[in-house]
Each structure stands twice: as C-alpha cells, then as structure tokens.
Amino acid sequence: MGADRDLRIGVLALQGDVAEHAAAFAAALSGRPGEHAPVIAVRHPHQLDGLDGLAVPGGESTTISRLIEKNLMRRPLLEFEGGVFATCAGMVLAAREVDDPRVHPLGLVEMTVARNAFGRQRESFERDLSVTGLVAPFHAVFIRAPIATRVGPGAAAIAALDNGAVAVRQGRHLALSFHPELGSDLRLHHLFLDGL
C-alpha cells in the first residue's frame, strides 16, 4: 500500500514530544521508495489537507485535549481521512472512552483507555514486547503510560501486558501506550506507513 507511493506525514504540534516524532518519521520515510515531502508540524486545521498520516504524540493528554478545542482542531481531526499514529497521550485521545472526564477523546479507535495506568513518572519502565506483525520483540519505553482496558470488535490488540493492551490497530490507525519515537527501531513506523 504505502510502500509504492509518496507519503505526506504530519505531527500534531500542540504539546508533547513533537520533534522526536518528526525525526522518527523523517528517518522512516527516508528509507522508503519515492520522494516524500518533509514531515510537517500541524498546528492549524488547514495543515491536515493532503496528509496521508498524522502522529499524535505523547505529552499531557488533558492539555492536548484542551488545546485541540482551543485551536478548533476537533472537527478537522474527526474528519481526517488519513491514518493516525497515536502514542501515549495520543492513545488516550484516540480512544472511544477514557477514565478521565477532563479528556474529550476523539473516538478514532474502539477502545477504553485508563490514563497513567502504571502510576507516576518514577514508575516508568522498559519492556520487550511481542507485537503482531513484527518478527522479533520490540523494545518499548513506557512513561506514565496508559493502557487499553477494553478493545472493541472493530479494533485489534497487537501487543499486550497482563493488565491490558498496549498496542491497538484499527484500519489505518495505530495506537501505542509507549514511545517508539524515543528509540532507533522504526519497525512500528513502517508498519503504520505500510497501512496507509
């Protein structure tokens, strides 16, 4: 699918680790055929036009939720036809339901998500995960990570820990509770790009 055509990717740049996502996607695209446009920072609705994919980064989900409303991004994000690569706080925002009333999720992925499921920043950890679609385990970095406590029939858990799913795929969307942009392993980025 995405491997044989040029792709345009953006990163929602309202708050969070935007630069890391932009760098990771730029590196992933540079290894693929075609002349890909630079990864762009998306701050305004019109910047979604023509994008094939959008990364929604980690950060503070309540803050990003508020900034989506303030910047009039909610409807454009709901109408966005490309794929969404959502990590950590992005996974919270992509969910259908969230355990915090301060977050207004976008409902892009049929799942219920618990914010900060593993505790505070000092409870951050790393783990090798078995991920459907990848041959070898993926080394995942969890920082104040959420977890999907329920995955609906339209979505599929592709990686899980004992208390729930940590990677969920639905159509073109990929939601991850960890931070693949913090390492050099780009296999999940390629998995996402292949589905566009």
Q: At what angle do helices 187-194 and 18-30 cross, to 10 degrees?
A: 70
Distance CA 190, CA 148 (A): 22
Is residue 104 annotated as part of the catalytic site, yes or no?
A: no
Name the active-site residue from 21, 173, 179, 189.
Answer: 179
Catalytic-role residue among 20, 21, 36, 88: 88
Tell me the H-state helices in the chain: 18-30, 61-70, 74-79, 89-94, 187-194
| Contact (CB, 8 A) for 80 and 94 | no
- Answer yes or no: 88 catalytic: yes
Backbone angles phi, psi at 47, to 5 degrees: -75, -10
Spatial separation of the C-alpha atoms in residues 58 and 121, rounded to whole Å: 13
Q: Cβ–Cβ contacts within 10 Å for residue 137, how many? A: 13
* Catalytic entry in 21, 36, 110, 181: 181
Task: Cite the active site residues.
Answer: 88, 179, 181
